[in-house]
Structure 1
Amino acid sequence: MAAPLWGGGRFIVEDADPKHVVTPEDFTEEQRMLADAVRAFVERDIAPQDAAIEKLDYELTVKLLRKAGEIGLLGADIPEAYGGLGLDKTSTTLLSESLSPASSFALSAGAHSGIGTLPLVFFGTPEQKERWLPDIATGTRIAAYCLTEPGSGSDALGARTTAVLSEDGTHYVLNGSKQYITNAGFADIFIVYAKVDGTQFSAFVVERDTPGFSIGPEERKMGIKGSSTRPLFFEDAAVPATHLLGEVGKGHLIAFNTLNIGRFKLAAGCIGGMKEAIKLSAAYANTRKQFGKPISSFPLVAAKLADMNINAFVTESMVYRTAGLIDESLKSVNSDDGLEVAKAVAEYALECSINKVFASEAMDRVVDEGVQIHGGCGYIQEYKIERLYRDSRINRIFEGTNEINRLLIPATLIRRALKGELPLIARAQEVQRELLIPGPSAPLSNQPLARQAAIVTALKKVFLMIGGLAIQTHGLRMDREQEIVASLADAMIELYALESALLRTRKLTELRGAAADNAIDMTTLFAEEALEKAGQRARLMLASLASGEALRLQLSVLKRLLKFDPGDVIALRRRIAARVISAEQYVGC
């Protein structure tokens, strides 16, 4: 058996063994019971109050948050010593997925228990943790995360809110503002970022009753209307010096490490949203009749259901794979050392960004097709697919826009390579030598999923070939070539998605044999389409990186790498659709 591969970005240069990949089929009985408890809470306590929550009833939302706290749903990431559950990341991922049908309430709960809580979990002193975490775990006090400002969104370090230490050293005086703060209307504890003396980016815990601290009116949003989103204002706000979180000037460590988990949990929530959209759309397609037949019987409608299901399957595969990698990384650190825990999570910052981008865009595709299947009804608020469509759009902006995350993905990979944490350059050089002096093509194995595995291998070589050429061409100026960087990110995203689906499916076939037919079909179809997109993307990048004879040589190498006979995607899509239509819900395998 191959040794397990740990470390962010290693999927680019090495192949993983399915036995070392966490999949939903690996959930323990305890994890399944957790998911059932969350779903029961949503159905029993949240769904009946949905209309009232959407009207932004603060009192009701806080009441329900405290009810969630009473049954342990808010303390998943909080250590047991401070009143939480101290769950592993696979379990908290499943919790986030299971809570997502709660719509706006899920956002309020997620912002509280995720990005609102983790700065204290990771970076709080023992005294700070003892003071705030037990109340956060029960929902007695609600938390909010405050980073964005009117003049700084993606450029978080460009924040203008300032903090000046008083002459007697007892408190900091904060001045400035924040905007788009989730839970602001009813939060009690705010994680606020400000620059000490106008230069040193730092984090503070600000309590609601702090003199000089005020909260503006609710924003009128496109979606997630049942969540509170308001601006904050600091006018000589006196924050005790003991409320400094971490060290002065080290706020970026808190902000960015928290966002890593925020991005990852957002992806987990998207899984639940996609599954709900599939269920709603399949049931509607089976009920709605046109020309004397249910619309699910028409191939163009059925194809939409198939594609929706594939998007959910691939997202689910990559998210739980990443959860397993993070859990493995956490095994080697002291769980009581928040900084070490944050560093272990940051090991997979690249994968967290990949998950965020893919999941948010997959979710948008799924709900868009869900509205289309519903036709005119999909545009009417009476049908929940309309709200899913509106609510989904924010995911591509939350936790760092997808554009920013696309720039981060290759940059993080290259940085890890330059630090010696990843043999990227050596592997790229090896691939270049191999491609310049090609040997005879090895025939495809008759083993199951051999073609799909060969496509993954080819796509890795294409990435290394073009990525190496891009670095040779642009060197340290690479960050200025955003179109090339984003294309490389897309190649990495699709590769991680495909390999995750393949690893899961290989694991399933070993366990279930023919019972994994749907997973095989979905992985196969995704591989075929990834192959087509990779070819188009690579040709566009090569045209920007080379010309003349050099370009023709690179194109010939690309053609050789991607030389696969086309597969019958129409038949694959019809088989997948038939299973979804029959089940009237998401079908994993």
Structure 2
Amino acid sequence: MSNQHNKMPDKKIPGGGFVIEDADDRAVVFPEDLSEEQRMIGMTTDEFITQDVLTHDAAIESLNYELTVQLLRKAGELGLLAADVPESYGGLGLDKISTTLISERLARGSSFSLSLGAHVGIGTLPIVYFGSDEQKRRYLPKLASGEWIAAYCLTEPSSGSDALGAKTTAKLAEDGTHYIVTGQKQFITNAGFADLFIVYAKVDGERFSTFIIERDREGVIIGPEEKKMGIKGSSTCPLILDHVRVPAENLLWEAGKGHLIAFNILNIGRFKLAAGCLGACKEALALAAEYANLRQQFGQPIASFPLIRRKLADMNIRTFVLESMVYRTAGLLDAALSAIDLKEEGSGLAAAKAISEYAIECSINKVFGSEALDYVADEGVQIHGGYGYIQEYKIERIYRDSRINRIFEGTNEINRLLIPGTLLKRAMKGELPLMQNLQNLQSELLTYMPALDFGDEPLAEETHLLTMAKKIFLMTGGLAVQRYQLALEQEQEILADLADMMIAIYAAESALLRAKKLQEQGGEAKAACAAAMASAYVHESFAAVEALARRCLSSMESGDALRTQLSILKKLSRRNPVNLTQLKRQIAERVVKEESYVV
């Protein structure tokens, strides 16, 4: 499929570079840049969910294996399982913008979307990116068609976030023809009906490695279904491996390279999870807006009440920001991965390098997306009142289903530690000029005094606030590095606050870039709404960045040193107040009128 409509610039955008340099809106992909072909893919996904999945909603939620597999095969016939698989192995080889659109649109399918997402993402992608040519030819056509369903097996009863603490072992037989794999995996999505398992085990108890294990191998035992809070229509079982003989050729990539596969597939999984959260946010918002127009209290629809409208506006703003982040990141991943020929030898290493380049952005999407959905779902229940607590209303299920996303694919706590930790590692390797920027900033701050007159240029003050937020992050982060050096990894509270600053910066910049791009493209109503949402988010997130920095500084300094740092922070934080009530009323007016997510 051609990706010419979403072409990224020749200049490579470094992962994590957004904290030290400003992006150009022309270099970033947003939903408004979708080609006609990509929009058709989105429509195909929508139609499949509406006509084939939602019509069997109750049966899927009752955990009907046979129906789920039947629907997965139907999705395979439509090409929805083949999007990420190269054409030479029976797939469609679509760009990452298209596959992101599919992930987003699948979300209305609730539990089914999880079954499909686990299959096409963490289940299939290890073979797509890291399999040998022979492994790809043997397995990918079956996975792309839905003839076989895949599952991903990393978590164990005693190791969740500490993936490398796995106890499952693999021992090569004396004749070298096979490995004996023994251990137990926990919380495995699709385990009840999967034909193929991507399993992580330590060769000789030491080298963390990845294996492709087929269901019909002797010693593969599927445990009972877990009784879950939400996502009840998806299969979640333990997998027991009792001295399973796995052919040596089913080792994925090389022994000892399992961590590179696991962490990079998790990066893609985190990003795809954010795309799914985006779709769920849109559905929850539409349900809430429609209900608010129908529900009468005190002789008028509750949608007419300002506090309900403010909720709807805030739900829409977070969804807009998430959408801007997700498609921006899809463009980055697409540019990094599209240059790799997956048929070539060594493509696994190239793919690992390309994916890991944007590990920070993938974690940021995961944290922001999962927490945005929790917020939107929670407010959706609140707008429904008592009816939001009743299973007859879908908002109740969205609320329950959303909670797992903050645990899936690495907890949000782990991801918050990874975000600044990865940034520092990239800087230490010379991949980002972070230290040079820190030195320049320290000399600049001594005499710096920002002006508060921004002229009449649209979003000029918001652009200034974004620049100041980056300076605040660098100032705070630089002080943390100087004070703690390598011991900084033990200061988890500071790392989490630095992560939240980075998340706010990436989110604000994504929204701002998109609003500017829409202004350039014309379309007055859409551009005005986007500008209002970007402005509201930038001002509110800037206040959050200032508060996070103040907390960090107060935990690192005291006395005169603290007062000096806080006076610098005060200079960087100078801003004009904005009428958020007016901005949010403007946004809410459109949401109430259209009963859906709006831009």
| Band of TM-score, shorter chain | over 0.9
Provide the rounded CA distance (Å) in 1 between the counterparts of 2:502 and 2:558: 24
Match of 2:590 among 572, 579, 582: 579
Provide the rounded CA distance (Å) in 2 between the counterparts of 1:523 and 1:234: 51
For 1:419-457, what per-residue CA distance to the aligned partner results, in whole angstroms no more than 9, with x for missing partners? 111011111111111111225637323211101101100
Residues 73, 147 of structure 2: 8 Å contact kept: yes
Shift of 1:4: 4.5
Shift of 1:341: 2.3
Match of 2:78 among 67, 71, 88: 71
Shift of 1:331: 4.0
Give the number of aligned pairs: 588
Match of 1:538 among 546, 549, 561: 549
Provide the rounded CA distance (Å) in 2 between the counterparts of 1:513 and 1:87: 30
Question: Which amino acid in 2 is paired with 1:153?
Answer: G
Q: Aligned runs of 1:311-350 on 2, under 5 Å? A: 311-336=318-343, 337-350=347-360
Shift of 1:536: 1.2
Aligned to 2:5: none
Task: Report the secondary structure of 2:217's partner residue.
Answer: coil
Task: Report the secondary structure of 1:238's partner residue.
Answer: strand
Runs of 4+ with deviation above 6 angstroms: none
Question: Which amino acid in 1 is paired with 2:256?
Answer: G
Aligned to 1:525: 536
Identity of matched residues, %: 62
Does 1:279 pair with 2:286?
Answer: yes
Q: Aligned runs of 1:10-409 on 2, under 5 Å? A: 10-336=17-343, 337-409=347-419
Does 1:567 pair with 2:574?
Answer: no
Aligned to 2:424: 414
Shift of 1:168: 1.3
Provide the rounded CA distance (Å) in 2 between the counterparts of 1:561 and 1:40: 50
For 1:467-496, what per-residue CA distance to the aligned partner results, in whole angstroms no more than 9, with x for missing partners? 000000100000000000000000000000
Provide the rounded CA distance (Å) in 2 between the counterparts of 1:195 and 1:293: 64
Shift of 1:573: 1.0
Provide the rounded CA distance (Å) in 1 between the counterparts of 2:255 and 2:197: 17
Question: Which amino acid in 1 is paired with 2:85?
Answer: I
Does 1:450 pair with 2:457?
Answer: no
- TM-score by length of structure 2 reads 0.97
Provide the rounded CA distance (Å) in 1 between the counterparts of 2:533 and 2:11: 26
For 1:481-523, what per-residue CA distance to the aligned partner results, in whole angstroms no more than 9, with x for missing partners? 0000000000000000000000000000011152311101101
Task: Report the secondary structure of 1:175's partner residue.
Answer: strand
Provide the rounded CA distance (Å) in 1 between the counterparts of 2:441 and 2:385: 49
Question: Which amino acid in 2 is paired with 1:570?
Answer: T
| Pairwise CA RMSD | 1.2
Task: Report the secondary structure of 2:597's partner residue.
Answer: coil
Question: Which amino acid in 1 is paired with 2:203?
Answer: V
Provide the rounded CA distance (Å) in 2 between the counterparts of 1:23 and 1:147: 33
Residues 54, 104 of structure 1: 8 Å contact kept: yes
Question: Which amino acid in 2 is paired with 1:326?
Answer: L
Residues 178, 245 of structure 2: 8 Å contact kept: yes
Provide the rounded CA distance (Å) in 2 between the counterparts of 1:10 and 1:503: 15
Residues 452, 576 of structure 2: 8 Å contact kept: no
Residues 176, 235 of structure 1: 8 Å contact kept: yes
Residues 334, 341 of structure 1: 8 Å contact kept: no
Provide the rounded CA distance (Å) in 1 between the counterparts of 2:80 and 2:342: 20
Cα 1:240–1:191 change in 2 (3 A) is same
Match of 1:438 among 448, 456, 463: 448
For 1:295-340, what per-residue CA distance to the aligned partner results, in whole angstroms no more than 9, with x for missing partners? 0111111111001000100000011001111112224433432331
Task: Report the secondary structure of 1:202's partner residue.
Answer: strand
Task: Report the secondary structure of 1:114's partner residue.
Answer: helix
Task: Report the secondary structure of 2:191's partner residue.
Answer: coil
Shift of 1:342: 2.9
Task: Report the secondary structure of 1:346's partner residue.
Answer: helix
Gaps of 5+ in 1: none
Does 1:473 pair with 2:480?
Answer: no
For 1:60-82, what per-residue CA distance to the aligned partner results, in whole angstroms no more than 9, with x for missing partners? 00000000001100011100011
Cα 1:344–1:567 change in 2 (3 A) is same
Provide the rounded CA distance (Å) in 2 between the counterparts of 1:28 and 1:79: 20
Task: Report the secondary structure of 2:451's partner residue.
Answer: coil
Residues 119, 258 of structure 1: 8 Å contact kept: yes
Task: Report the secondary structure of 1:206's partner residue.
Answer: strand
